[in-house]
A and B are shown apart, each in its own frame.
Chain A
Amino acid sequence: MTTTQERRAPVPDPPEVDPAPVGLGLLGWVRWTWRQLTSMRTALLLLMLLAVLAVPGSLFPQRSIDQVRVATYFEQHPDLAPWLDRLSLFDVYSSPWFSAVYLLLFISLVGCVLPRTRVHLANLRQAPPRTPARLSRLPEHRSVEVAASPERVLDAARAVMRERRYRTAEHAGPGGPSLAAQRGELRETGNLLFHLSLVGVLVAVAVGGLWGYRAQVIVPVGAPYVNNTTNLDTWDPGALVTGDSLPPFSFVLDALHVSFDDDETSGQYGAPRSFSADTTLTEAPGDAPVERTIRVNEPLRAAGASVYLAGNGYAPVLTVRDGDGNPVFSQPTPFLVQDSNYTSTGVIKIPDSPTGQVGLQGIFLPTAALGADGMPASSFPDARDPVLYLTVWTGDLGLDDGVPQNVYELDTSEMTLITTGDGIPVRLRLEPGQSAELPDGLGSVTFDSLDRYAGFTVRHDPARGAALVFSLLAIAGLTASLFVPRRRLWLRAGAVGSGAVGGSPPPGAGRTLVEVGALARSEDHGLAGEADAVLAAVLARLDEPPAPQQHPQQHTEQHTEQHPRQQRPEEGAP
């Protein structure tokens, strides 16, 4: 493929395997390695490797996406999972091997693109090359006799080529004065912009990962949210986030609107249809509050952070009284959703009841039914027939040993499950408004009413905009790199008979022979059309009739590959 090598002439790429230096010492080896790394073939292999290595991350659950599924995988494959883990198969995209490949690729890219940029900048300042002696050898060649003088032809040609955005240079020669023209440097500019923008995207992603943060919080309807790390359920800062001071906005979740497909015949029964959260936002302490609605696909943007409506669920309002009837717990209690019908689980921890620590573990069903396995499960996500089941634990909640605990889980390692005489766990069943006695004189629990909660994700990424800008620059550069044709075109105007075509004494002495030759320097299917158009434009400027098209050619495909290198002058060494 001579042509394509010529096209990326600035890259000094070894055509075939570059023999390793023998006895060149360390420096020689370093040079050789660098040349290998920045070669086109290495870039190609690394690209293919990157594609292959990205696959396993879609086959195995990834910690960065879903820790729960990773844990489930460990349970289901207790022998295999630790081995996979050793190979980083649950963290593919931050694994040493994946990182190594993309970092090598980007080093190769920079090592390849910087020298090309230098060469390209020099090229931009260079005049188009001299006109070849025999234009008829070029892939496209037109010749025409006109009455105008060579000088006038050249003037016209100069104007035409400027109009068509060619850079030009004039040359004198035995065949007459000529104009050399070149265009399409934008192609290489675009290619360089594309590759450099990819580096920009990578840097923006890294900056966002290091200085950004992500947090999750559950907010019951009616409750306020103040942006502060102490209020968050999860807090996941980038490695270089210093301190935990977040922009101090706050909002109140006024209402949550939820709807589901309730058409039993639709095949989509129970599918979510719309979620939205009405909030009252205070951007900074002291600001006037404003009303904002957060929807899926419509985050709240406040003080550089974004708040997303990531989920929703039920928060039964529960009151627990101790043996003396005094309330020891009373609040909306968020239950975490487990399936698409909102079967939910939650816990209540009562550390200071006079009768010792009590833990309640519950399953909440918005529409009570029995699952296929005979266990309680919800049959519809909306609250049509809400039922809460609770089991009761006593003992040590483990809150005092200083280890932070998940508020949605009960650590039962130091607790006992209360059972009936024959060993069956005591299970309380409650509907809204109902109360039940806890066994063993522990008190009572009341299901006062049913609220909903919203799950919000709070996110800040300082380089989001930069990533977008670099991506768009990359696409723009890529488009130029693929579609701007690089062409050279020469036009010579000589007195008829001066020797360019034929040798016999000219019948039309005093006339001028106009010759156009064109050469494609990239994939170019429009070269023949360009040669015709340039000639036609020059003739039009000279008020000459257009050159007749004797045999209309199909200008479908014009390609450089069919022309051996030696037919192209000026295309020698890179």
Chain B
Amino acid sequence: MSVDTTLASTSNSLVYSAMAVYAVALGASAFDLATLGEKVGARRRASARSAAPRQELASQAGGVGTITVGRTTAPTGPAPLAEDGAPRRAAGIATSLTVLALLLHLGGVVTRGLSAHRAPWGNMYEFSVTGTAVVVLVYLGVLARRDIRWLSTFVLAPVLLSLGLAVAVLYTDSAPLVPALQSFWLIIHVSIAFVSSALFVLAFSTTVLQLVQERREVQRAQGRPTGAGRFMEALPASADLERLSYRLIAISFPLWAFTLVAGAIWAEVAWGRYWNWDPKEVWTFIIWVVYAAYLHARATGGWGGRRAAYLSIAGFACLMVNYGVVNVFFPGNHSYSGLS
């Protein structure tokens, strides 16, 4: 089957348009963060918040019905974003543009796949384009459930960077797959790996923010100046960021385990041995073990918080090695980068 070059070039145009819209969305979200940080910082200086649990007592009405007498809920941590009722116009614009860009981006992914009649993940360029689309998709998925618009800058910036790298360095013309990749396990194994990696990427962003926020909290507690980065005022407290990082990793970790197992099944079908210690397998295993260590660290006395965060960052670094270094430089059964 030959390649439909019209569709392939449509795909390229769509990817370029998506990048342009992402860039504008990134500008809007950075602006939102900066102004919000300014506002929250000013308010923080004006009044210190009390962190006591909220106790609400109802008036004692008579009658036959139920009377709510009391309700205590554990504090949910300071939520600076939700407190201020003022609409965040720039954040709204950023989100709308992100949705628009993602539609263009997904269009690029789909046309790329259609142009070669296959799943659009057969080489490094396609991994990057499809992978970034999944990152944005997962971000918007989480956003649908809770307001994490403060994260958008830290999602859009790396996405844009990866897309830039993809079109400038990794670009490969659309082509059919080599026989070793012609398997429906490619679709299962790689698509789960995408979702899982996207969650790890988001967790990396929140982990870095968590560490920065923690430093600012310590500085503030000691009465020292918190330095540059007023936008951090608009972000949740480090404990909340830590919990979010954990939840992202907790969701991703079994998916990565599944990636590992699906890869092993495929290896058995393709090469006759489910585990070969091929460099790609080795690094997938290392990533899994590092995140397992993260989960263990979080449960080990004296290892939570900061030290666990370093493990999560190490896990992300391994993910990047697996993607950027192993594909290209380590010869093995997985040398499908499409680069020569």
Contact = CB atoms under 8 A, between A and B. Distances in A.
Given A267-B172, A297-B270, A471-B261, A140 B299 contact: no
B175 A266 contact: yes
Interface in B242-270: 243, 246-247, 250, 253-254, 257-258, 261, 264-266, 268-270
Contacts of A459: 272-273
A547 interface: yes
Given A50-B289, A58-B326, A296-B182, A559 B74 contact: yes
B320 interface: no
Given A266-B3, A271-B175, A557 B70 contact: no
Given A7-B299, A507-B62, A558-B76, 10 more contacts: A16-B302, A40-B301, A147-B64, A214-B273, A308-B271, A468-B265, A478-B257, A546-B66, A550-B58, A551-B56
Interface in B224-244: 239-240, 243
B75 A562 contact: yes
A558 B77 CA distance: 10
Contacts of A553: 73, 76
Interface in A495-509: 501, 507-508
Contacts of A268: 173, 175-176
Nearest to B1: A273
A298 B302 CA distance: 50
Contact of A143 (B71, B239, B285, B297): B71
A357 B239 CA distance: 81
Among B69, B173, B246, B318, the most chain A Cβ lie within 10 Å of the Cβ of B69
Interface stretch (B22-30, B94-102, B211-219, B274-282): B274-282
B68 A144 contact: yes
A93 B277 contact: yes
Contacts of B3: 266
Contacts of B77: 557, 562
Contacts of B222: none
Given A58-B282, A513-B69, A139 B74 contact: yes
A23 interface: no
A547 B185 CA distance: 51
A69 interface: yes
Given A263-B2, A266-B173, A145 B76 contact: no
Contacts of A482: 250, 253-254
A65 B278 CA distance: 7
B39 interface: no
A492 interface: no
Contacts of A266: 3, 173, 175
A46 to B, nearest CB: 9
Contacts of B304: 1, 4
B196 to A, nearest CB: 12
A141 B250 CA distance: 28
B293 A141 contact: no
A525 B77 CA distance: 13
A527 to B, nearest CB: 8
Interface residues of A, number: 96
Given A271-B178, A297-B179, A144 B66 contact: yes
Interface in A91-150: 92-93, 136, 139-147
A15 interface: yes
Nearest to B60: A507
B269 A299 contact: yes
Interface of A: 1, 4-5, 7-8, 13, 15-16, 40-41, 43-44, 47-48, 50-51, 54-55, 57-59, 62, 64-65, 69, 92-93, 136, 139-147, 205, 214, 261, 263, 266-268, 271-275, 295-299, 306, 308, 310, 457, 459, 461, 464, 467-468, 471-472, 474-475, 478-479, 482-483, 501, 507-508, 513, 523, 525, 527-528, 539, 544-548, 550-551, 553-554, 556-559, 561-563
Contacts of B258: 475
Contacts of A297: 179-180, 182-183, 185, 266, 269-270
B93 interface: no
Q: Which 7 A-B pairs have the closest CB atoms?
A: A58-B279, A296-B179, A459-B272, A297-B183, A141-B72, A268-B175, A47-B293
A55 B286 contact: yes
B65 interface: yes
B300 interface: yes
A479 B255 CA distance: 9
Contacts of A468: 261, 265
Nearest to A198: B292
B290 A13 contact: no
Given A51-B289, A464-B268, A145 B56 contact: no
A14 B66 CA distance: 49
Contacts of B243: 523, 525, 557, 559
Contacts of A464: 268, 274
A556 B79 CA distance: 11
A507 to B, nearest CB: 6
A13 B175 CA distance: 56
A389 B77 CA distance: 79
Among B68, B79, B303, the most chain A Cβ lie within 10 Å of the Cβ of B68
A142 to B, nearest CB: 5
A44 B71 contact: no
Nearest to A47: B293
Contacts of A57: 277, 282
A65 B276 contact: yes
Contact of B299 (A8, A274, A467, A547): A8
Among B75, B172, B273, the most chain A Cβ lie within 10 Å of the Cβ of B273
A457 B264 CA distance: 17
A481 B223 CA distance: 41
Contacts of B254: 475, 478-479, 482
B176 A273 contact: yes
A427 B253 CA distance: 60
B146 interface: yes
Nearest to B262: A471
Contacts of A41: 300, 303
B188 interface: no
Contacts of B266: 297
B298 A4 contact: yes
A183 B102 CA distance: 41
Contacts of A47: 289, 292-293, 296
A482 B254 CA distance: 9
Contacts of A550: 56, 58, 68, 71
Contacts of A310: 271-272
B300 A467 contact: no
Contacts of A69: 331
Given A266-B173, A272-B179, A51 B296 contact: no
Given A43-B296, A141-B70, A266-B175, A557 B274 contact: no
A562 B74 contact: yes
9 contacts: A40-B299, A54-B289, A142-B70, A296-B180, A297-B183, A459-B273, A461-B274, A523-B243, A528-B73
Contacts of A261: 175-176
Contacts of A40: 296, 299-301
B82 interface: yes
A563 B74 contact: yes
A547 B66 contact: yes
A57 B283 CA distance: 10
Nearest to B326: A58
A57 to B, nearest CB: 6
A468 B258 CA distance: 11
Contacts of B75: 562
Nearest to A274: B179
Given A263-B2, A308-B272, A554 B179 contact: no
Given A15-B301, A16-B302, A544-B66, A528 B173 contact: no
A477 B175 CA distance: 41
Given A54-B285, A140-B73, A141-B72, A471 B264 contact: yes
